[in-house]
C-alpha cells in the first residue's frame, strides 16, 4: 500500500522587504522552512503596495532600502495597519544600527537583527516574532 503524503500547512503569510537579493533569498528560504508563505518587496514603496493588496501576519524589514526606508515603512504601516505594528522583524547592517536605528527599533518594541547574522539567530527571532 502506498503511503500518502501529508500536505504542508502554511501557518503564516510574511512580507519580506529587503533590497539585497541574496539576503532576501536566504530570508525566504528560512521562512519557508518555518512553514511560511513569503512575498518579496525590494523597497519600502513596493512593500507598502503589497500590504495594501494582501493580508500578512508579519513583516521582515530591512531598515536601509531605496525609495522608502524601513523606519518610514514602519510608520506608515503602524498608521494604516496597526495590528502589524508589533509584528516586525528589522534587519540592518551594524553601521546603520549605530546611526540611530537602534533607538527607533527599541521604541517600536520589535526585534533588530544586525547583519551579518547566523541562520539560527534568524530562526530564533522568527519564532519569537510569532509568539508575540
Q: What is the pLDDT of residues 27-58, one digit of tens each?
A: 999 999 999 999 999 999 999 999 999 999 99
Q: For residue 6, is it within any domain?
A: no
First to last CA, the chain: 43
Query: 14, 84 in Cβ contact below 8 A?
Result: no
Q: For residue 2, is it within any domain?
A: no
104 lies in which domain range? 12-131
Q: For residue 7, is it within any domain?
A: no
Q: Give the HSE-up count for residue 56: Cα atoms under 13 Å, Cβ half-sphere.
A: 26
Taking only the tens place, the pLDDT of each residue in 69-113 is: 999 999 999 999 999 999 999 998 766 556 677 788 889 999 999
Per-residue pLDDT, 103: 84
Domains in the chain: how many in total? 1
Per-residue pLDDT, 93: 79
Q: For residue 5, is it within any domain?
A: no
Query: 52, 44 in Cβ contact below 8 A?
Result: no
Q: For residue 46, is it within any domain?
A: yes
Q: For residue 4, is it within any domain?
A: no
Instruction: Provide the CATH number for the domain around residue 27.
Output: 3.40.50.2300
Provide the pLDDT confidence category of residue 5 given band limits of 50, 70 and 90: low
Q: For residue 119, is it within any domain?
A: yes
Q: Is the pTM of this model over 0.85?
A: yes
Per-residue pLDDT, 49: 97
Whether the per-residue pLDDT at 4 is higher than 60: the answer is: no
> Which of 69, 46, 47 lies closest to 58, judged by CA?
47
Query: 19, 40 in Cβ contact below 8 A?
Result: no
Q: For residue 3, is it within any domain?
A: no
Amino acid at each position: 500500500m502506498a503511503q500518502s503524503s501529508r500536505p504542508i500547512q502554511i501557518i503564516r503569510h510574511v512580507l519580506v522587504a529587503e533590497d539585497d537579493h541574496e539576503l532576501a533569498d536566504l530570508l525566504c528560504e528560512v521562512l519557508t522552512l518555518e512553514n511560511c508563505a513569503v512575498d518579496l518587496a525590494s523597497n519600502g514603496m513596493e512593500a507598502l503596495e503589497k500590504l495594501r493588496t494582501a493580508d500578512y501576519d508579519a513583516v521582515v524589514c530591512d531598515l536601509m532600502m531605496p525609495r522608502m526606508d524601513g523606519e518610514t515603512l514602519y510608520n506608515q504601516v503602524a498608521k494604516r495597519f496597526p495590528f502589524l505594528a508589533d509584528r516586525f522583524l528589522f534587519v540592518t547592517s551594524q553601521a546603520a544600527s549605530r546611526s540611530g536605528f537602534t533607538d527607533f527599533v527599541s521604541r517600536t518594541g520589535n526585534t533588530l537583527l544586525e547583519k551579518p547574522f547566523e541562520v539560527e539567530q534568524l530562526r530564533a527571532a522568527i519564532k519569537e516574532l510569532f509568539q508575540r
